[in-house]
Amino acid sequence: GQNIDQPTEMTATEGAIVQINCTYQTSGFNGLFWYQQHAGEAPTFLSYNVLDGLEEKGRFSSFLSRSKGYSYLLLKELQMKDSASYLCAVRSDSNYQLIWGAGTKLIIKP
């Protein structure tokens, strides 16, 4: 079957760094997305990886290792507004359908 795993919940301190991991087993691979979802709101796009390595975008970075079926999202200089769920999604070989993880709820403490 196809599966995306990520931790259910993480807690971090304002100003610190946090890494949210995602592992996947899918029938194919055509890109991995990270989305942010605040409570009661729609997911919003954060990052995309299709080749191995690190993609940096301001305070957020995303890493991919295709051979290991592994990605992480790195958030630096955490702010209270970063409290949200972070969803990992893989686009399989069907090219359009995204397979979603259950999301990691990130709690930021002052």
Partner 1 sequence: GAGVSQTPSNKVTEKGKYVELRCDPISGHTALYWYRQSLGQGPEFLIYFQGTGAADDSGLPNDRFFAVRPEGSVSTLKIQRTERGDSAVYLCASSRYKGGDYKGVYNEQFFGPGTRLTVL
Where along the sequence are the contacts to partner 1 (CB under 8 A)? Answer: 4, 8, 30-31, 33, 41-45, 48, 50, 87, 89, 91, 94-103
- Cβ proximity to partner 1, 53 vs 110, nearer residue: 53
What is d(CA 38, CA 13) in angstroms, rounded to the nearest whole number? 18
For the bound state, the minimum distance from the C-beta of residue 87 to partner 1, rounded and expressed in Å, comes to: 5
For the bound state, the minimum distance from the C-beta of residue 59 to partner 1, rounded and expressed in Å, comes to: 19
- Cβ proximity to partner 1, 13 vs 106, nearer residue: 106
Amino acid at 15: G
CA distances, 109 to each of 33, 76, 77, 80 (Å): 26, 14, 13, 7
For the bound state, the minimum distance from the C-beta of residue 74 to partner 1, rounded and expressed in Å, comes to: 19
Round to the nearest angstrom and report the end-to-end CA distance of the chain.
Answer: 40
For the bound state, the minimum distance from the C-beta of residue 10 to partner 1, rounded and expressed in Å, comes to: 14
44 and 37 Cβ atoms separated by less than 8 Å: yes
- Cβ proximity to partner 1, 13 vs 44, nearer residue: 44
CA angle at residue 38 from 100 to 76, to 5 degrees?
90
- Cβ proximity to partner 1, 35 vs 72, nearer residue: 35
